[in-house]
Amino acid sequence: MPRIVLSLLFILAFSSAASDVSARQPLTLVHALEGVPRWELEQLAGRFNKSQAEFRLVTLYRALPDHARADLALVADAMTADLLARRAVQPLWQILAQAGARTDTRFIPAVASSFADEKGRLLALPLTPSTPLLYYNRDAFRKAKLDPRQAPRTWYEMPAWMEKLAEAGSACPLTTTFPAWILLENMAAWHNQAIATHDNGMDGEDARLAFNGHLMVRWIGMLASWQKSGYFSYSGRTDEAEARFASGECAMLTSSSASYAALRVRSRFELGAAHLPFYDDLPGAPQNTLAGGSALWALAGAPKDSARGIAKFAAWLLRADVQAEWHQRTGYAPLTLAAYELTRRKGFYQAHPAQDIALGQLLARAPTVNSRGVRLAGLPFIRSIVNEELESVWNGKKTPIDALNQAVLRGNALLYPGQD
């Protein structure tokens, strides 16, 4: 066949394919993911577009997402209460029901609960959930004559390990990322303690902060004593501690389970991962840790065709094979038990034990009113207040009880301005 004919046939085929794609009903998803997660989300959208011929999902990056012209938005869990208060979103369960979509509803409770209503129905679909783990430097453990196969199980065991690490030359035995999320919110949930009334805000809009009780005073006081001894080192309010750990400066780190793959690549040593330690003298501990991260929300006012497309995309995302692939490629926790079981059958956790540890924490026990999640208006600002008050402890300006009392007072003033 002449080359000119082949070229014309190729052009016609390409034009036909392009026309088919452009003729589909568009769905726009705005997000603020960066790096590998952003790339993986784009790949996910491409796989969905290839799986059906009716809708075309377009991902749109916005450092500060503008949801005005979007159908779906990926929003951090800390914004859930604000989204619901503004009535800016439509419950996902409602969209799925209206479309008659059938999905697997065997969710991992601790992952689903943060984005569910009082009846357990999904308001949004968690896409980037993770939970805190304890990472450790196995090479540093060997140098300190510690067993590199394990890490401290309880916080009471921690000082002896930190002392040996310090004696072996570690200038930073322990540090943490995201203090408000890990040291306060997850520590409370892990010990089945409330941080706010009304089920941490999950059961109404009148919640008040109440994390200045015995557990937190003891916990922050212990950390303050470790800092004075040179055992605990503050690194910053976000993920600054990961660089200090990966460089070998810090021997142990509490950070997100989603950081495992990156830490394994960046670390100059053999990386270990373990459960978040706990106080074993508190009844019911350990309970379950929280699954923080972003979820896909259907924005209010979507046209009927867009709502049908959202339902189709959500139902596709809830398939066990799709959930399992996303979990394995990104390190984020899956939403469904079927995806977890499929991943286990394939032997994924043998090569990625940290992910199994993370899911073990989330599946440790059925969530209680204290460990379902945190849903407070202005939660990002409350976390900033908590971080600021904790810094006043680390720099010796306040006692733990004074800092926690002040954080509660300032946070409640933010929740209820003008009230005592």
Residues 38-91: pLDDT tens digits?
Answer: 999 999 999 999 999 999 999 999 865 555 579 999 999 999 999 999 999 999
Report the alpha-carbon distance of residue 242 to residue 266 in Å, rounded.
Answer: 9
Terminal alpha carbon distance of the chain: 85
How would you write the pLDDT of the chain (420 residues) with one tens digit per residue? 444 444 434 443 444 444 454 578 999 999 999 999 999 999 999 999 999 999 999 999 986 555 557 999 999 999 999 999 999 999 999 999 999 988 878 999 999 999 999 899 999 999 999 999 999 999 999 999 999 999 999 999 999 999 999 999 999 999 999 999 999 999 999 999 999 999 999 998 789 999 999 999 999 999 999 999 999 999 999 999 999 999 999 999 999 999 999 999 999 999 999 999 999 999 989 999 999 999 999 999 878 889 999 999 999 999 999 999 999 999 999 999 999 999 999 999 999 999 999 999 999 999 999 999 999 999 999 999 999 999 999 999 999 999 999 999 999 999 988 665
pTM to 2 decimal places: 0.92
Matching residue, tokens 């793959």: 261
Alpha-carbon distance values, 1 to 5, 6, 8, 12 (Å): 7, 7, 11, 16
Give, in degrees to the nearest 5, the angle at Cα 30 between 26 and 34: 130
Domains and CATH numbers, the chain: 23-129+291-362 (3.40.190.10), 132-289+378-415 (3.40.190.10)
Report the alpha-carbon distance of residue 420 to residue 418 in Å, rounded.
Answer: 7
Report the alpha-carbon distance of residue 188 to residue 180 in Å, rounded.
Answer: 11
> b/e map of 125-157 (b: 16 or more CB within 10 Å)?
bbbbbbbbbbbbbbbbbebbebebeebbeebee
